[in-house]
Amino acid sequence: MTDAECLAQLFVSHSVRKLRLMQHYLETCVAAVDSAALSRRPGPGQNSIANLIVHLCGNLRQWIGSTLGGRPDIRNREAEFAEQAEVSKDQLLALLRNTLDEAVPIISGLDSGRLAQTVNTQDGPLSVLEVVYQIVGHFQQHTGQVVFMVKQGTGRDLQLYQPK
């Protein structure tokens, strides 16, 4: 295996691990609150937990599913941030799991040649590597917001970090 192939494999596997870890964090957060808390906005112009999870799923489906996976782009970004009627935990978790289960195989199938290719995104031309990097960072950013909201709302340590 060449150095480029090793680096590509390392980047892809690390990206998938990070996305799955953030999925676990979000699932832990959803379990820690009642259903009403999922749709509650902390203040005017702020998003609810449900808004952020729906937004992450829309973003992942657009950037990975559509841009890299060739699936139709069905994203409605405005709806992701619209007032959410009370959403069930099961619905939100199913959306999250299904979205990750669709995106992970696409990312896992990337090799060094594909990572170096340029694709057209809503932000202009980017390498596939940049797309994956953008998505993982975006996913971590909003997961951190959800974790903060849940910790602040429950006053609990979610014990997300478990040293080995």
CB contact at 8 A, 21 and 136: no
For the chain, what is the radius of gyration of the CA atoms?
17
Residue 160 lies in a domain: no
> 47-56, 72-81, 86-95 — which is least confidently predicted?
72-81
Range of the domain at 40: 3-154
CA separation for the pair 80, 57 (Å, rounded): 9
Residue 162 domain flag: no
Contacts with 27 (C-beta within 8 Å, 6 or more apart), sequence order = 93, 96
Q: What is the dihedral of CA 28, 32, 35, 37, to 10 degrees?
A: -110
Say if 164 falls within a structural domain: no
Q: Is residue 77 part of a domain?
A: yes
Point out which residues pair with 120 in neighbouring strands: 125
Question: What does the pLDDT look like over 100-152, one tens digit per residue?
Answer: 999 999 999 999 999 999 999 989 999 999 999 999 999 999 999 999 999 99
Within 10 A of 38 (CB to CB), how many other CB atoms are there?
Answer: 23
| 65 belongs to a structural domain | yes
Helix 89-108, helix 3-32: angle, nearest 10: 180
What is the CATH number for 69? 1.20.120.450
In a domain, 163, yes or no: no
Inside any domain, residue 159: no
Residue 23 Cα distances to 16, 17, 19, 63, 119, angstroms: 10, 10, 6, 17, 26
The count of structural domains within the chain is 1
- If 0-12 CB within 10 Å is exposed, 13-18 middle and 19+ buried, where does residue 28 land? middle
pLDDT tens digits for range 19-74: 999 999 999 999 999 989 999 998 888 999 999 999 999 999 999 999 999 999 98
User: Which pLDDT belongs to residue 18?
Assistant: 98
